[in-house]
Amino acid sequence: TQEIFDSAQAYEPDSSDIFVVTYPKCGTTWMLNILYLIEHGGNMIGSDDNLNYHYPFLELVGGDKVQEFKAPRVIKTHLDDRMIKHKEGVKYIFVARNPKDCVVSFFHHTLDFHNFYKYKGGKFDDYFKIFMQGKVDWGDYFVMVPRWYEKSLKEKNVHFVLYEDMKIDPKSEIEKLANFLGPKWSDSIKREGVLENVIKNSSFNSMKSNHLNQIIKLQQKTKTSSFRLQCITIAPKDLKFMRKGAAGDWRNTLSEEQSQEIDEKMKKVGK
């Protein structure tokens, strides 16, 4: 609702808050899982549990609800940097992904959530056009991502992470992430076996298997409508919220012309 969205924008961060910021389908759940694993000694979240119990989604639940979570908080958001308040001490993790993989993943996400998007049977070519125009949920990829990248170059409290780098060298990226977040986090991964378990339990196959078990169990419980939405318990039963998690899978979907269109767009925003 507009009231919840306004509440999200009005949220006053605590100086100990950590924001996980992404454009949709760019590694949000992956990053939240990594943070959970670091916090819990490499142990995976239980199938009866859910990341949303621990890490609120700012614009879905609103700032008032986020305040109910005990500080220090980890907060998920897809909001542009101009839509959230900034405060000294707050840390922002921004995860970016190749826009070619992003648009493919977002397309399948839109098909899967046909109860909300009314796009069942929609064509990729049509979706690609509105994505390139920035007329999809959470706006324009080619505005949001460059803005956060620029902030990361100027502000020490913004950590910019590439999805593809996490796929190639998770150990190095997790170490850099923990060092950015501070001693509590960096000390955790130094304990025997923790870093190895964080890497293992944040692999796509591990997360996908665990996430599906969570959805099945949550669908068997009665929740309030807003919480059911947040935990995806009213999603279609054939939902594939975590589809492939691959880097470079866009080659199976994008035409050469579409690939070139994104390349040209990236050149323009990179100037």
Higher-scoring residue by pLDDT: 52, 195: 195
Is the preceding omega at residue 13 within 30 degrees of 0, hence cis?
no
Residue 165 reports pLDDT greater than 80: yes
Euclidean distance between CA atoms 217 and 53, whole angstroms: 14
- In degrees and rounded to multiples of 5, residue 80 shows phi and psi of -60, 150
Give the residue with greater pLDDT, 122 vs 238.
122
What is the predicted pLDDT for the residue at 109? 87
Q: pLDDT digits over 128-151, tens only?
A: 999 999 999 899 999 999 999 999
CB 104 within 8 A of CB 254: yes
Amino acid identity of 224?
Answer: T
Q: Which of 80, 34, 41 is nearest to 55 (CA)?
A: 34
User: Out of 173-177, 213-217, 263-267, which region has the weakest mean confidence (pLDDT)?
Assistant: 213-217
In angstroms, how far is CA 93 from the centroid of its own chain?
Answer: 10
Q: Is the peptide bond before 72 cis (omega within 30 degrees of 0)?
A: yes
Q: Pick from 35-44, 106-115, 207-216 the range whose average pLDDT is largest.
A: 35-44
pLDDT at 81: 92
**Residue appearing with tokens 């460059």:** 146
Q: Average pLDDT, whole number, for the chain?
A: 85
Q: What pLDDT score does 118 carry?
A: 72
Looking at residue 244, its pLDDT comes to 54
Q: Which CATH superfamily is domain 2-269 in?
A: P-loop containing nucleotide triphosphate hydrolases (3.40.50.300)
Q: Supply the pTM of this predicted model.
A: 0.85
pLDDT of residue 9: 95
| Pick from 122-136, 152-166, 247-261: least confident | 247-261
pLDDT tens-digit series, residues 62-121 = 999 999 999 999 999 999 999 999 988 999 999 999 999 999 999 998 888 766 777 777
- The crossing angle, in degrees rounded to 10, of helices 170-181 and 183-190 is 140
pLDDT for the residue numbered 242: 46
Domain boundaries, the chain: 2-269
